[in-house]
Structure 1
């Protein structure tokens, strides 16, 4: 165990030396195992700010001085906010140790990636999140450490949070197929067509029209086009479909189904799917 610990601490110290040299600390100073003690505290914090949470915990094991520096609230605050940008505790409990808060958020995220509902319940019970749809939606929208499958399973049960999450997206000045790809990149699409997909497309259509008030397409038209784009993408991508839908057929079908839009616009939609591929490539 001691050999492993010494190896780990040696790797940590080597990383600190590299970071120190990049920060302008002289090689002579950086060869001293207690070099942080001879530096101004501001420079020591700058060096330590380049470490991960794991490395900071290791640094705190060196001695009392490093423990005090590696536990600095400024360092852990930056780690928290760079990983989870929207958390209720930032405003409701600013006096809380950010190191403790990081550990709570990390534990909650690990639980979420096993069981999403359990993870959210833990975070709300620990005071990290308020238990309301808009707050939870903002939390999900502003972190990338959560398992996408667990996100989908959770949102499938909590459509109030799903709706709030969709309304955080900005589709301003985006071509409709690209906006749909952005949508399904952030919120996984269901594998089966049905009520959940219809709900998602309905909410997306509303938000797309809100973000693009001058697009000259109403909500119903956007909804119909989105469904048509998904069907077209499946048709073009499926090896089982021998007779692929042509551009002319796609335009003719939309002309009868959509209340707005020109043949030229419908043609651009077809070209985008034909060239760029599926709007939800990881789920169909």
Structure 2
């Protein structure tokens, strides 16, 4: 309701600006103003009589034109059909669905425009997002009831992948409970030709990591490792990496991120220590590759922030 009131206030503000500009134009077209202008110009000897007649005739034409279009303004509001279409559509776009229905009774051609009614979809998206952020299951049910989503894990995953209005804590709870949606959401990521830490950051921007280690974090890393290998088969063969090896590297990167960014850790892990510890867990990984991993975390920061 706050958003609706704000939108209506914006629409009313645009309305007043347009009306004031229109009335200002009328003020310069009133007979009294024209008479004064013509009298002042009549005292000048540099203007011919024919020029006076043309100006007076032009002023009369403008006056009669505006007078014919002034009926609605005299009733207290401006006729949107007399405004430029862009401005009229902008004013109407701030109305909610109920007010837009009422406006269509007055301005049928304007208020029945298909683009305006398509814009009402954003109101349903906002309402559904707010509902989801309070209760994820009720939010998904709302989207389905409005025909925005189909009751399909793949469709729900596509929606989650493309929207940024859902609360990440509520989304994390929902994905933990709906592993079928999580599986489809992971497959929407394309990590081809991405450096491992950067791919992991992108993954955790869409699917937020839990605050504590546990089964859900292990599940996320496992799914990421398989997806990363599927997107980079040539690189995996070249480096001799398997999904299990990528899993070890991801866990090492998360621990290194915590070590280097946490203010509570006084003795930071050195590059040599990271290489030694990582190669101890995954012996086939080259020392140079592990060193590049350390440099990336040291320079760019946490992979799961």
TM-score by length of 2: 0.68
Relative to 1, partners in 2 of residues 1:238 and 1:5: Cα closer, same or farther, differing over 3 Å?
closer
Structure 1 unaligned residues grouped into runs of 5+: 18-27, 80-98
Structure 2 unaligned residues grouped into runs of 5+: 1-5, 20-61
Asked if the contact 1:56/1:70 (under 8 Å) is kept, the reply is: no
1:122 deviates by: 2.3
Structure 1 Cα separation of the partners of residues 299 and 80 of structure 2: 55
Match of 2:179 among 146, 156, 159: 159
> Aligned residue for 1:73?
114
Asked if the contact 2:186/2:224 (under 8 Å) is kept, the reply is: yes
Asked if the contact 1:57/1:70 (under 8 Å) is kept, the reply is: no
Match of 1:227 among 251, 262, 265: 251
Relative to 1, partners in 2 of residues 1:36 and 1:261: Cα closer, same or farther, differing over 3 Å?
farther
**Residue deviations 1:21-45 (CA, integer Å, cap 9, x gap):** xxxxxxx99x986564146xxx73x
Asked if the contact 2:168/2:208 (under 8 Å) is kept, the reply is: yes
Structure 2 Cα separation of the partners of residues 5 and 197 of structure 1: 42
1:236 deviates by: 1.2
Structure 1 Cα separation of the partners of residues 277 and 133 of structure 2: 42
1:124 deviates by: 2.2
**Residue deviations 1:255-279 (CA, integer Å, cap 9, x gap):** 1212543111111100111111111
Structure 1 Cα separation of the partners of residues 173 and 223 of structure 2: 18
Alignment partner of 1:245 is 2:269: yes
Q: What's the RMSD between the two structures over aligned residues?
A: 3.3
Match of 1:129 among 135, 141, 149: 149
Larger radius of gyration: 2
Asked if the contact 2:92/2:111 (under 8 Å) is kept, the reply is: no
Would you tell me which structure has more helix in proportion to its own residues?
2
| SS class of match (2:188) | coil
- Alignment of structure 1 residues 135-150 onto 2, 5 Å: 135-150=155-170
Match of 1:10 among 9, 12, 27: 12
- Alignment length, in residue pairs? 242
Relative to 1, partners in 2 of residues 1:6 and 1:208: Cα closer, same or farther, differing over 3 Å?
closer
> Aligned residue for 1:120?
140
TM-score by length of 1: 0.73
Relative to 1, partners in 2 of residues 1:35 and 1:51: Cα closer, same or farther, differing over 3 Å?
closer
Alignment partner of 1:194 is 2:218: no
Relative to 1, partners in 2 of residues 1:75 and 1:174: Cα closer, same or farther, differing over 3 Å?
farther
